[in-house]
Amino acid sequence: MDGASRGGGMPGAEVEEVWPRGGRILLRLSLVGTGAEGATLVLRVRGAGGAELQVRADGSGHRFEACLPLAPLVAAGGDVDAWVWDLYLVPDGSGGEALRLGKHLDDVRGKKHIFRYPVQHAARTAVEPYFTAKDNLSISCRRGAAGRGAAR
């Protein structure tokens, strides 16, 4: 979903801030076109049969915050060398509708090549948030890697 379609009244989940540091990733998020008493951040490993994690987001209305510790992101990788988490926000009362997290309501296109976040390491795994080609937020995990481009 892009910014133009959200402008037409469709709900969306926007990334306001990404703070990777201290063995965690702090996300500040907003709901667009809807509000909610609460929300859950859902992370899904890309691909068939991938793992799923859920983290309750703090906040209500249109603003939310979630803190992701690195350990569960790394542990869910199993025995593969590289995997990617795609992130969604599920507002309370939405019937479980998962809104893909992205950053679409600004004038910056091609964030994948512009925004760079620090790589962190946990259990010999590089963990790096990044924006996809569609300006959605994902998290790359790669065992034994120094980062930058791992599993993207």
* Cα–Cα distance for residue pair 29/13, rounded to 1 Å: 7
**Kind of pairing, strands 82-91 and 39-45?**
antiparallel
* Cα–Cα distance for residue pair 124/37, rounded to 1 Å: 38
> In one letter, which amino acid is 73?
L
Architecture of domain 3-143: Sandwich (2.60)
pLDDT tens-digit readout, 67-77 = 999 999 999 88
* Cα–Cα distance for residue pair 38/65, rounded to 1 Å: 10
64 or 112, higher pLDDT: 64
Mean pLDDT along residues 42-69: 93
Domains of the chain, residue spans: 3-143
pLDDT tens-digit readout, 106-150 = 888 888 888 899 999 999 999 999 999 999 999 999 998 665 554
Give the side-chain half-sphere CA count within 13 A for 136. 18
**Residue 98 region, left (φ>0) first, then alpha (ψ -120 to 50), else beta?**
beta
Phi and psi at 110, nearest 5°, equal: 75, 40
